Structure 1
Amino acid sequence: MRSLLYAILVGLIGAALLHIVIILALPRFTAEDAYSRVLGLYEMDSFFPLTSAPGPTGLSNDDPYLRVAVCGFSVLGGPVRFTASGDVPFWSLAIYDSGSNEIFSMSDATAVNDRVDVVAATPLQLVELRKQPAETIGQTITVEMPEDEGYAVLRALAPLGSYEAAASKFLGEAGCEPMSR
């Protein structure tokens, strides 16, 4: 009986210490989330390619066959349009909110005309967009943002060296810009 009480007491003290350590370490980890790192790259509304070596923000591209670019954006001033086109064997786009929760993703297999043409907006902005003539957004895919800010990750496959130029061009010409009205 005495050893059981001793084990429970040691377990409770250990659990309390673990919780204290986690609470004290939490601020260090919250400043290093993906969204904070993307905001640290450069200014928003532009895709920036990631390299294999971690940059000042710690973001890097670890996959030897994928080329990756990221863009931080805000829909406060209006909808944001993501565009890209090119001759790459595979591409994908993922949009995340500021909590790094995936809001939307697509690839070349689900795209219209093998192009990236996506608009992210608040619910009210989407209502306004749908009131405009069909030519304004045409076959553009619309994404409702639950928050005002987020980031997008665009990936292009370059399985061989001969695809490197096409993947670089695809990411280099990609757009992540506030939509003009």
Structure 2
Amino acid sequence: MRSFLYAIVIGLVGAALLHIVIILSLPSFTGRDAYTRVQAFDEPNRFFPLANGGRTLLPINDDPAMLTAVCAFSVENGPVRLFAEGDVPFWSLAVYDGASNEVFSMNDRTSVGGALDTLVATPVQLIAIRKAVPQELEQSILVEMRGEEGYAVLRTFVPSRSRQEEAAAFLAGASCEPFTADR
């Protein structure tokens, strides 16, 4: 009788774990995960605003005081440089890999001089860059990404309607482009 109860308990625990795994992996099988949805935006290596006429295109942030933009990129053929500057009260950046795992995050308080200047690259690419750091990357934050594809989410705070235009200009002026050293 004891082994029968033990088998039932083990079976129930196993079934619960299996259901949890299925539920958590479901977005990747349905194509509705964040990375797949970000890839659906027109072109890679360009920041796209996530609000379109008041409708949020991705459920990343529902806070009306935050404006958000996203950029899909690939470091397969070389590093990608994320750059933005402007007079906004607060901004934050998060870099995710193709599985939507956060690889790196920062904000204006942890940046160099308050501007966003980040280079995302594979470990091999970073080794080559660190051997001879180009002048334009001397103040950049170097981010190592193990995978080749990912996306970046850039958010900025809009404390009042009068700052809306500045925040929108900050996101519109942000770049997410392949890096080529000017040598």
The two structures share one fold, judged by TM-score above 0.5: yes
Displacement of 1:77 in angstroms is 0.8
Deviation of 1:134 after TM superposition, in Å, equals 4.6
Gap runs ≥5 in structure 2: none
Task: Provide the C-alpha distance between the structure 1 equivalents of 2:157 and 2:113, rounded to a whole number of angstroms.
Answer: 18
Matches of 1:96 and 1:155, distance apart in 2: 14
Aligned residues: 177
Task: Name the SS for the 1:124 alignment partner.
Answer: helix
What does residue range 146-157 of structure 1 map to in structure 2 within 5 Å?
146-157=146-157
- Alignment partner of 1:53 is 2:55: yes
- Judging changes above 3 Å, is the alpha-carbon distance between structure 1 residues 121 and 163 closer, same or farther for their aligned structure 2 residues? same
Task: Quote the offset at 1:16 in angstroms.
Answer: 5.0
Q: 1:75-154 maps to which residues of 2 (within 5 A)?
A: 75-154=75-154
- 1:13-28 maps to which residues of 2 (within 5 A)? 16=15, 19=18, 23=22, 28=26
* CA displacement at 1:174 relative to structure 2: 0.0
Paired residues of 1:70 and 1:154 also in contact (CA < 8 A): yes
Find the aligned partners of 2:102 and 2:16 in 1 and give their Cα distance: 34
In structure 2, how many angstroms separate the alpha carbons of the residues matched to 1:180 and 1:107? 25
Return the offset for 1:41. Answer: 1.6
Runs of 4+ more than 3 Å apart: 8-23, 25-28, 58-61
Determine which structure has more spread, i.e. the larger CA radius of gyration: 1
- Taking structure 2 as the reference length, the TM-score comes to 0.83
Per-residue deviation, residues 34-76 of structure 1 (Å, max 9, x unmatched)? 1111111221100000114143xx5564111000000111000
Quote the offset at 1:131 in angstroms. Answer: 2.5
Matched-pair identity in %:
46
Q: RMSD over aligned Cα, in angstroms?
A: 2.8
TM-score (norm 1): 0.83
Partner-residue secondary structure (3-state), 2:104: strand
Deviation at 1:20, TM superposition (A): 7.2
